[in-house]
Amino acid sequence: MVEDGAVVGTGTKIWHFSVVRGSAVIGKNCNIGSYVYIDNDVIIGNGCKIQNFTTIYKGVIIRDNVFIGPNVTFTNVVNPRAFIERKNEFAETLVGTGVTIGAGSVVLCGNKIDEYAFIGADSLITKDIGMHELWFGKPAQKMGYMSRFGRILPKASNKEKIFRCEDMGDVYVYDENRITNVTYGNK
C-alpha cells in the first residue's frame, strides 16, 4: 500500500504487503521487500535495497546505495511510553551513502551511520558510527574497517598507515583509530 502523497522514484519496486506512508520519499531504482513499513517523512535515496520485514520510522534519512537486511528496526523515540505522546521528541537518524546494515539489527534513534560503514547481523546500534567502520554485537562495538567493495581492511601498523584496495583502486589513510581520508578509485 502506497498512500497518496508518497513520492516513489522511477524504477523502484515495492513488494507485497508493504506500507509506504503519504509523506515518505523513496528514490529511483530501489528494491523494497515484502512486509516493509516506511513511515511519514522518511527519506530514502537512490539505489537502496531494503529487505523483508524492515521497519523505518519517522526521523530516518537514508542516503544512496544503502543495503538494509531483513528484520531491521529503526526507532524514533529514546524513551517511549504508551501513555505519553512524544511525537515532538522524534530523534533524527542518518544513514550515509553505501552503508550495509545486517539482518535483525536495531538502530536506536539519534545516531549517524557514516558512509560505507558495515553493521553485522543482529547488532544493536547505540552510538554514531564512523565512515568505513565495521561494527557488530549487542551493543555493537567497533571491530575494524570495511572497504567500499565490502572487504575487511587490514589494521594499520605503526609503519603502514595507508592501505590500497585492489578491488576498487581506493586508497585509505589511517590516523590513530580511524580512517581520516579516502581517495576513491575509478573501478
Domains in the chain, start-ordered, CATH in brackets?
7-146 (2.160.10.10), 154-187 (no CATH)
Residue-wise pLDDT for 36-74, tens only, equals 999 999 999 999 999 999 999 999 999 999 999 999 999
Q: What is the pLDDT, as a whole number, of residue 187?
A: 64
Reported as a single tens digit per residue, the pLDDT across 129-145 is: 999 999 999 999 999 99
> Which of 113, 93, 103, 110 lies closest to 33, judged by CA?
103
Residue-level pLDDT at 163: 84
Residue range 27-45, pLDDT digits in tens = 999 999 999 999 999 999 9
Residue carrying C-alpha cell 524492515: 54
Greater pLDDT, 178 or 41:
41
Taking residues 112-130, what's their average pLDDT?
Answer: 97
- Which pTM does this prediction carry? 0.93
pLDDT bracket for residue 155 (50, 70, 90):
confident
Separation between Cα atoms, residue 18 and residue 16, nearest integer Å: 6
Q: How confident is the model at residue 177 (pLDDT cuts 50, 70, 90)?
A: confident
Residue 134 to residue 139: CA distance in whole angstroms: 13
Residue 157: its pLDDT value, please? Answer: 66
